[in-house]
Structures are given as structure tokens and as C-alpha cells.
Chains A and B, each alone.
Chain A
Amino acid sequence: MTFSVKTKLLNALRYLVLGLVALIMLYPLLWMIAGIWRPNDEIFTSAGLMPQNPVDGFENIRNGWMVQGRSLLFYFGNTLRFLIPRVVGQVVSCVLTAYAITRFEFKGKKIVFALVLATLLMPEVIFRIPLFQMYSGDNPFGINLLGTFMPLWLENAFATGSFFVYMLVQFMRGIPRDLDEAAKIDGCNSFQTLTLILLPVMKPAVITVGLLTFMWGMNDFIGPLIYIRQPEMRVLQQALRVGSEAGDGGVIWGQIFAMSVMALIPAILLFFVAQRYFMDGIASTGSKE
């Protein structure tokens, strides 16, 4: 065979494999979307994608949009109320920490890094109850933070996201020191070096930290479950659960699927748009130490 035919064949093969795997990955989403147009009994007995006895899917969508008199958008707004401080706090504190670890020599550096890694390995389940007690007033200041969104983002503002510290450390090790030197010669102190010189270079990594924090935060259910009780403060995940509760008349699963799919849209859109930065962002975490 000629070279170009072989390449074309190989390319076709790649697309085929990719397409098949993509189908497997997307299948649940497609199945859920198909389920919006299905009656309950069909949903539970059919794993295929074509509704046999279609119901009014658009009604399901309309009904699924509101939970307890408020729209999903409202609950999304509540999610943002803790998610945005969380993202900002996480990014700022992790960058500061990574900066210290990679750009300075100081006593205890090894211990600090070891502790970062150690906290990475701690199971989250250990923290739940003690932290809850602490936030509820069992602290030296006697402050009770329940009823606010603070318990959901406070710790992120203090570099507890060890995964991201680790990732930023990897990335920063790949940035040449020449930049720092040049900044110093121009009269910058360490803070100015960070903000004016290094940060622009780190943009992809920083966006990655923000993006992942956002995505994981959207799916966070246990956190809001424990800390948020007032109905008007409920976040998207909680609203989904409330909307899915089987009741006296049972539940319309098509509506639940409609709700779930709509709740996924922000995350999917955000990811699709940002995946370009995302890719460059994690770029230097692998091939360097």
C-alpha cells in the first residue's frame, strides 16, 4: 500500500476506536436525555435509546426546572455563593504556598512538602464530624458559622487543597529561574515577582486549579448536606435530591432526568470552553519532577 493510503486507514481506525469509546462514555448522558421522553415503566425496563411510548418530554423539562417554587437557576446561584469564594480562596492560597515551596530555600522546606503530601493521603471521612463541631461553635472564638456558606469555602482559603498545591509545585518547577532573576534586577520584591512576572506565565495552571475546583464543587453533596439547612440557601445538588424524592404518588423519572441533565449543563459548557487552558495547564506536571 502507498504511504498515504496507510495513513488514511490508520486515521480511520483511530477515529473508529475513538468514536466507539466516545459513544460508551456518552451513553449514560444520551440515555438520560432519552429518558426525559419516556414513561416510568419504560425507563426501568429499557436500556436502549429510542423511547417506545414517548411522553411529553417538554413538560418534564418545564416541571423539572422548578423545585419548591424556585428555579434551578436560583439554586445554581446558591451554589455559586460558596463556589466562587472557594475557587478564589483555593487559587490564591495554593499559589502562595506553591510559590514558597518552589522559589525559596528555607529550613523546614522538606517537612512542609512532606506534610502537603501527607494531607493528600488523609481520608476525608475523618474530618467531617470534628470540623462540623468546630464550625458549630466549638472553637476558641466561640463563633458559630452554621447558617452561612462559610464552612463550605473557609478551609479552601488556607491551602488545604493539597492536590492543587502539588500540581502547582510541579508546574512552577518548570518555569525558568531567569524570569525571577530578571525581576529582581529590575527591583521587584518577592511579591511583585509573583504577581507581575510569574502569574501571567502560570495562567494555564491557575485556570486549571480554578476549573477543577469548580467542577468538583458542583458535584459536592455531602458538604452542603451537612452545613446548609435553610431551604432558601439550598444548592443545586440538594435541590436535585429534593426534586427526586418519591412521594405519595411516586415520582416522574423523566422529570428527574430532565432536572439532572439541566444541572449538568453548566459544568459541561464550562469544561468544553476551558479545556484548552486546562490542557496547557497540566502540561508541565508530568514530564518534570
Chain B
Amino acid sequence: MKKNKLWLLVATFAAAFLFLAACGDSDDNGADDYDNGDDTTADEVEDNEDAGELEGTITVSWWGNEGRHDATNEVIDLFVSENPGVTINPHYGAWDGWQTAFAGDLEAGQEADLMQVNFNWLQLYSPFGTTFADLEDPAIAAHLDLSNWDSQYIDVTRQSGVVQGVPVGMTARVPFMRADIYEAAGLDVQDINTWDDLIAAGNAIQEHHGDSVFALSPLGPQSMAYMVFSWLEQYTGRSFVDADGQLNYSLEELTDGFQLIQDFIDNGVMPDGAFDSDPINAENPMWIEGAYGGVSEWDSSINAWINNLGEGGEDLVEIRPHFTMDGAQLSGWMSRPSMVFSISNNSDYPEVAAAFLNFMLTDERAIEIMGTDRGVPLNTVGRAYFDALGLGGHVVAANAIHAEAETTTMNAIFEFPEVREVYESQLMEIFNGTSTVEAAAEFVYNNIQAVIDSLLD
């Protein structure tokens, strides 16, 4: 008899649990039924032109190294001291694993009010502009002055027309060359401008240094792709996809583009897959030992590479503009926001988040505190203060070299993980010698449109 009751209790509990859990899940994606900008706060704020008495508690999340943490915390303290009604809880950590935690939070509706977001994640997690708060919403726009940004940069963060984040800076992959390696082979790095120059340099370097030294380095799947598609932009004058998401290149053009990698391998510009078993990063032993004449890296990430070269490393590395070709139709520079800040759709105090964001990115003292910890600021106000600081170094110089140039903004579709998987895997096959250029190009040509289409609906 006792036993009956117990099982009944347990069964009911289990059934109830499962039932409730199943029901509880339907609106967790944040995608379907969230209203934008119907917050009651909107009315209140519109009546005060000045931010005045800000009140609320928000969480701000970001990843980075200790320098960035210290600087950001200092900015937070400054803001809070000037806005006593505000409490800010910082959540910060290492890059390692950050995306996992971030995605988990989004899935469960637990994300921070103000989040540092990797640019790709905007397309990844908010393809239709529904996951993050609309930054043009009046409640938010009252505190975050989007006019500080050139409109083209704000358009970049629009997903289905909705502004999902504010770009902190623009970045591009910049060639960083080892002037000493070129010099020893009788070349001046400043003379290497076109792809042909580069290929000739590859041969010259191998002749002088031997088979184990290269004009560049094993670029890695991402950089290889950027090189190839930059080349294609220069060659055809068209970027990756058109306005409807259709691939902009013919099979012949794709094949010619992929051939670039094979030419690199055949002419000592880069090794093939069998040469280096380590990832191409700042800790790569071959880089440290001087086997690689150059790397292609994001403008703000070069310092780690230089540091690992030891004493005097910064003198060995020179920044070059993107390789080009005679008759290039586009510059080949493909830039994208380095990172953005987004506001949560579930935030109780979006206006506080907006105000703090505005402060962090445009206030003179905040800019001074941050220095280059988040790269070179993009918005005009912040940029002016930054320039006034007169900071030097490779990061600033690298940013300058593409900021002034005519760049194409990388299309979101280009960076979709599934799309990347298609072209990067084929480039890797060429790199590893397991596929011909023709077969690789054909594979991409035949498969990529279907993948793109499936992601666009």
C-alpha cells in the first residue's frame, strides 16, 4: 500500500516535470515573440532631453586580457561615480570558451544587458535582427548617439534592417612582413606591391635561404580565403555575393582565384600542408625561428607575434598595404567591424546600458583609459580623442593603413560558418595536396549556392 502511493507520487512528479518543461520551452530562443521598443521607459525618457538622473542596475560582459579588464573596470568606476543611481556588474573573462557561455546565455535568455559581441555573432545569432535590441529604438537612441558613426558603419551592423550592434572599430587582415628576411635575400619589403612581386620574392627568398624559408607563411584557412577573395575582388570588380545572395563569380573565375594558392605553394610564398604541424599563431616555432617572411593578421592582434620574437622584434616587422595587381578593379581590402557592443532585448534598463556605452566609446577620459585595448575607435568623436593621445605602435599604424583606403565591407554571408566550411575545406585540400585546384573550385561552385540559400530564408 505504501509502495503504491510512493510510485504514484513519483510518477506524478515526473509527469508534471516533463509536461512543464516541455511547455516552458517554446519561447526561449528570443526569436519569436519579443517586442521591440514597447518599453514603458520609452515614454519617460522622451520627456527628458538630458539623461539627467540615470537609475538602474545593469550587467556588462566582455572578454579580453587583463589589460582590457583593468581599463574597462576603470571606465565603469568613472561612470558610476558620475551617475550614482547606476550600478554596473561586470562579467568578464577569457576568450577561451566565451562563445559557449555566450550562446548558452542567449539560449536561456540570461544574457548581460550590454554585451561585447564578436562581429560574426551578429549574423550567427541574429540573422533577422530579433535577438538583440534595436539600437535605433528611441529609448536607446536618446542615450546612444549613433550619428557619431559614419552611416556606412552602422549599416554594416544591420540585420534585416535592424541595427543590432555598434562597431567599436574596423579591422582588416593586414600583411605584416619580416623586413630582415627579405633584406637578406636582397629585396626591399617596400617594393613588394603586387601579387607578381610577391611570387617573384618567393622564388628569390627560397634561392637565398633555402627550401625551408618562405615569403609568407602557411596562412591558415581563414587567411587563405581572404587572400583568394581579395584577389577575386581586384580581378573581377565584384565582391563575394550580390544583393540577392547569389555567388558573384563564374567557375573560371573561381578556379583562377584558387590557383593563387597553388601558385603561392609552387613559388615559395607559402609552404604546403606537410611543412608545419603547428597552428599559425603567435607561438608558432617557425615564425619565431625566422622561416616565415610574413603573416596576414588582424590589425590589432600583431603585438603578440612581435613579442614572441624576443628583443628588438618590433624593428623586424613592417606593415604593408594589401597586395594588389595591375588593373585592379577594387582595392581588395575587406574590412569588418572588429567587435560590436549590443544591448539585450531582455534588459530592464536599456537606457542605462545605452548611456554607459555612449560614455565608454565617446567620452574623452574613457578613451584615454582604454588606449588601444579595444583597438582604434571608429566613431568620429572617439577617434578624435584617440588621435590626440598620439599613441604609436604597430596596432595604430596597421589600422591607419586600411582605414584610409577604399575597402569593401565583408558581407555577412561570407562569414556564415556553414559557408566558410565549404570554401575553407577546399582551400585546405589544395594546401594539403589532396585536391587539384580545378576540383576544389568546382566543389565550391557546385555546393555553395545551396548552402547560402538554405541560410537565407
A binds B: yes
Knowing A133-B25, A226-B101, the reply to whether A247 touches B283 (Cβ < 8 A) is no
Q: Taking the complex as formed, is B69 at the interface, i.e. its CB lies under 8 A from any CB of chain A? A: yes
Whether a CB of chain B sits under 8 angstroms from the CB of A39 is yes
A222 & B288 in contact (Cβ 8 Å cutoff): no
**A246 is an interface residue with CB less than 8 A from chain B:** yes
Tell me the chain B residues, 83-113 only, with Cβ under 8 Å from chain A.
89-97, 100-101, 104, 107-110
A242 B110 Cβ-Cβ under 8 A: no
* Shortest distance from the beta carbon of B360 to any chain A beta carbon, whole Å: 18
CA distance A7 to B424 in the complex (A): 61
Give chain A's interface residue range (CB within 8 Å of chain B): 35 or more
Are B304 and A251 in contact, with the CB atoms below 8 A? yes
Name A's B-contacting residues (CB within 8 A).
Answer: 39-41, 44-45, 67-68, 128-129, 132-134, 136-140, 146, 221-222, 225-226, 229-231, 234, 238, 241-251, 253
B285 within 8 A of A: yes
**Residues A225 and B97 in contact in the complex (CB < 8 Å), given A44-B284, A245-B66:** yes
4 closest residue pairs by CB, A with B: A247-B65, A250-B307, A250-B304, A241-B94
Partner of B93, one of A45, A128, A241: A241
CB distance from B197 to the nearest CB of A (A): 30
Interchain CB contact under 8 A, A250 and B21: no
Q: Which residues of B contact A136 (CB under 8 A)?
A: 108-110
| Size category of the binding interface on chain B | 35 or more
Interface-central residue, A137, A242, A248, A250, by most chain B CB under 10 Å: A248
Give the residue name and chain of the A residue nearest to B63 (CB).
A245
> A133 contacts B288, CB within 8 Å?
no
B372 at the interface (CB under 8 A from A): yes
Q: Which residues of B272-309 have CB atoms within 8 Å of chain A's CB atoms?
A: 282-285, 288-289, 303-309
Asked if B100 and A225 sit within 8 Å, CB to CB, the answer is yes
| Cα distance, A139 to B284, chains bound together (Å) | 47
User: Judging by beta carbons under 8 Å apart, are B93 and A40 in contact?
Assistant: no
- Whose C-beta in chain B lies nearest to the C-beta of A242? B94
**A-B interface contact total, Cβ < 8 Å:** 123
Give B171 Cβ to nearest chain A Cβ, in Å: 14
Please tell me if the beta carbons of B17 and A245 are within 8 angstroms of each other in the complex: no
Compute how far the CA of A238 lies from the CA of B25 in the bound complex, rounded to whole angstroms.
30
* Between-chain CB contacts (< 8 Å), 25 pairs: A40-B308, A44-B285, A44-B288, A45-B285, A68-B70, A128-B104, A134-B21, A137-B108, A138-B28, A140-B20, A225-B101, A231-B69, A231-B91, A238-B93, A244-B96, A247-B373, A248-B65, A248-B372, A249-B303, A249-B307, A250-B303, A250-B307, A251-B65, A251-B307, A253-B283
Question: Does residue B389 face the partner (Cβ distance < 8 Å to A)?
Answer: no
Given contacts A45-B285, A68-B66, A245-B66, 12 further A-B contacts (CB under 8 A): A40-B310, A44-B288, A45-B289, A129-B104, A136-B108, A136-B109, A138-B24, A138-B25, A231-B69, A246-B282, A247-B66, A251-B304
Contacts of A250 in B (CB 8 A): 282, 303-308
Given that A138-B21, A222-B100, A229-B101 are contacting pairs, would A246 and B285 also be in contact in the complex, using a CB cutoff of 8 Å?
Answer: no
Complex alpha-carbon distance, A243 and B64, angstroms: 10
Q: Pick the residue among A133, A234, A238, A247 that contacts B64 (CB under 8 A).
A: A247
Beyond A136-B108, A225-B100, is A247–B93 a contact (Cβ under 8 Å)?
Answer: no
Residue of B68, B96, B108, B283 contacting most chain A CB atoms (<10 Å): B108
User: Which of chain A's residues have a CB closer than 8 A to the CB of B61?
Assistant: 229
Q: B282 to chain A: which residues have CB within 8 Å?
A: 246, 250
Closest to B67 in A: A247
User: In the complex, A117 Cα to B97 Cα: how many Å?
Assistant: 31
Tell me, in angstroms, the Cα distance from A246 to B304 when the chains sit together. Answer: 7
Q: Nearest chain B CB to A52's CB is how many angstroms away?
A: 12
With A246-B304, A247-B65 already in contact, the answer to whether A133 and B108 are too (CB < 8 A) is yes
Distance of A48 from chain B, by nearest CB (Å) = 13
Is A45 in contact with B308, judged by CB distance below 8 angstroms? Answer: no
Pair B310/A39 contact, Cβ less than 8 Å: yes
